Amino acid sequence: MEILPPYPHTSILFPYLIKGIRGFKDILPGEVSTWQWVEQKAREIFHLYGYLEIRTPALEKLELFIRGVGADTDIVQKEMYIIPDPREGDMALRPEGTAPVMRAYVEHQIYARGDHKDRPYKVYYIGPMFRHERPQAGRFRQFHQIGAEVLGVEDPLVDAEVLALLRDFLTGLGVQDFQLQLNSVGCTNCRPAYREELKKYLKEHLNELCENCQARYERNPLRVLDCKNPTCREVVLQAPLIRDFYCSICKDHLQKLENLLQALNITYLINPRLVRGLDYYMRTAFEIVSSKLGAQNAIVGGGRYDGLSQDIGGPPVPGIGFAMGIERLISLLEIRPEGYIPDVFIAALGKEAKQEAFLLQNQLRSAGITAEIEYQEDRSLKSQLRTADKLKAHFVIMIGEDELKTGELTVKNMREGTQEQIKREEIIQHLKGKKITHGSFLP
C-alpha cells in the first residue's frame, strides 16, 4: 500500500524547505520559559481558589459543538477543523474548552457523585484550541487557552468569585491597564422579547449591515451586537438595550453581582451592548479588555451558561466560566522570566580535567544542583568564563592540573566576584549551603 506519492527527484537534498502550517506557531525554548511561568502562576491561583485541573481530548464529536456552541455561530459555520469519519461520526478539533468540560461532567455523571452533589465542581484547563480563521496579530489557527469552569451553582457569589480570581491572577502577572466589562444577556424567559425588538430595529437598517450580519439577522440577531465592522457598530449604537427587557430574576442576579464586586473593590464597567459569541451564555457575560491590544482587545471572555448541559443531553446544571488566550496574555507582560539559569558552570583545562568535570556534573545533578560544562575542545579559561557569564551561572568551578593534584576545587562566586578553594568531597555540601536557586526560571 503506497502512502506517499513518488517524488520526481532522487536527490537526498530536497529542492525546497518544508515550513510549518500557516497559523500554527512554533514556541521555541527562549519563549517557552515565559509560557511555563504564566502556567505556573495560573496553577497557583487556581489551586488557591480550590480548582482542580481537567484534561479533555483535543478531538470531540462534531455534534457537541453544533449543539453546545450553536449551529449559527461563526465557529461552527466557518472556523472548525472537521474530520469526517463514517464509523465514529464526524469529529472536530476542539475550538473552545467549555463544551468539552460539560460533556465530561455529564458523561461521567459527576453531578450524582457524593463528593460533588452539594458542592460546586471547580476545574481549570490549559491547552491548545483550533479554529480555521485568517491568522492575524494575536490570533492563530492553533492557539492556547487557560480556562476555568464552575458547575452546579447559580448563585452570583460564584460569579463574583470567578471575577476576583481573574483580578488576582492578572495583577499577579503584572498586567496593567485592564478593564472588566460586564453585562447580563438575560435568560430564556426575557431574551425572546428582546430578540424580537432587536430584529424590528435591525430590519430598518439591513442595507447598512455587513454580509455576515445580514445573515445573522435571521439566525441569531444578538450576534450583530458583537460585530467588529465599523458600519455595523454605528448601527448598533442606537439599537434597543437588553437591560430594558430583564425579568425580575435576571435583574436581581445582576444587582447582587454588582454589590459583591463593589464589596470586593473590583472595578468594572457595565457595557449594555456586550454579548458573547457563543449561544450557551445567559445572564452574566463579561470581558476583560486592554487598550494595548488594538482592535482585538479582549484578554479574557466568559460568562454564565446555565442551559448548556441540557443542550448536550444532560440534566439541568448551572455553570459559569471563562477562557483567556495565552498568546495575547503574554504579549501584555512587562515582566518576563530570564529562562534557565544554571547553578554551576564547570570550567575544565585539559583532557583529564574535562573527564573529571563530566563526572562532577553528573554528581551535582544527582544532588539536585543544575550544572553545565564546556563541550568544545581546547577552550581557554577566559573563554569558558565568558560562557559562564553568558549563561548567568551563579558559580564557576575551575578544574585544572593543580586542582586534580590537590583534590581542592576553585569555586568562583559570579555574583560577588570572590573565589575559594573547596575540597572535592565537600563541594556538594558547600553549594547547598549557599541556598542557590537550583536552575529556576527567574522572573
Q: What's the confidence (pLDDT) of residue 443?
A: 43
Average the pLDDT over 202-224 and give the result: 81
User: What proportion of the chain, given as a percentage, has pLDDT over 90?
Assistant: 43
> At how many degrees (to 10) do helices 156-172 and 29-48 cross?
140
Distance in angstroms (rounded) separating the CA atoms of residues 188 and 213: 22
Residues 317 and 387 placed together within one structural domain of the fold: no
Indicate the pTM of the whole model.
0.82
Residues 290 and 351 placed together within one structural domain of the fold: no
Retrieve residue 78's grid coordinates: 466557518
Residues 314 and 361 placed together within one structural domain of the fold: no
Domain boundary among 272, 296, 331: 331
Domain contains 211: no
Residues 34 and 146 placed together within one structural domain of the fold: yes
Distance in angstroms (rounded) separating the CA atoms of residues 165 and 418: 45
pLDDT reading at 166 higher than 90: yes
Q: How confident is the model at residue 436 (pLDDT cuts 50, 70, 90)?
A: low
Give the total number of structural domains in the chain. 2
Domain contains 440: no
Domain contains 217: no
Are 162 and 302 a contacting pair, CB within 8 Å? yes
Distance in angstroms (rounded) separating the CA atoms of residues 169 and 105: 25
What is residue 148's three-state secondary structure?
Answer: strand
Residues in the chain: 443
Domain contains 199: no
Q: What's the confidence (pLDDT) of residue 101?
A: 94
Residues 176 and 67 placed together within one structural domain of the fold: yes
Question: Which residue type is seen at 104?
Answer: A
Nearest partner of 298 among 311, 308, 289, judged by Cα: 289
Residues 320 and 393 placed together within one structural domain of the fold: no
Domain contains 236: no
Residues 405 and 349 placed together within one structural domain of the fold: yes
Q: How confident is the model at residue 140 (pLDDT cuts 50, 70, 90)?
A: confident
pLDDT reading at 377 higher than 70: yes
Q: What's the confidence (pLDDT) of residue 441?
A: 42
pLDDT tens for 256-281 read 999 999 999 999 999 988 877 566 78
Are 276 and 300 a contacting pair, CB within 8 Å? no
In what helix (H) or strand (E) does residue 183 lie, and over which residues does it extend?
Answer: strand 178-184
Mean pLDDT of the chain: 86
Residues 121 and 60 placed together within one structural domain of the fold: yes
Domain contains 6: no
Residues 264 and 306 placed together within one structural domain of the fold: yes
Domain boundary among 275, 298, 331: 331
Residues 39 and 141 placed together within one structural domain of the fold: yes
Lowest-confidence region among 8-17, 75-84, 384-393: 8-17
Q: What's the confidence (pLDDT) of residue 14?
A: 60
Lowest-confidence region among 26-35, 93-102, 217-226: 217-226
Residues 283 and 410 placed together within one structural domain of the fold: no
Average the pLDDT over 133-150 and give the result: 83
Which CATH number covers residue 159?
3.30.930.10
Are 301 and 287 a contacting pair, CB within 8 Å? yes
Q: What's the confidence (pLDDT) of residue 110?
A: 87
pLDDT reading at 9 higher than 70: no
Q: What's the confidence (pLDDT) of residue 211?
A: 80
Residues 392 and 307 placed together within one structural domain of the fold: no
Q: How confident is the model at residue 138 (pLDDT cuts 50, 70, 90)?
A: low
Domain contains 196: no
Domain contains 396: yes
Domain boundary among 310, 331, 352: 331
Residue span of the structural domain in which 117 resides: 29-190+246-331
In what helix (H) or strand (E) does residue 74 lie, and over which residues does it extend?
Answer: helix 74-74
Are 348 and 374 a contacting pair, CB within 8 Å? yes
Which CATH number covers residue 410?
3.40.50.800
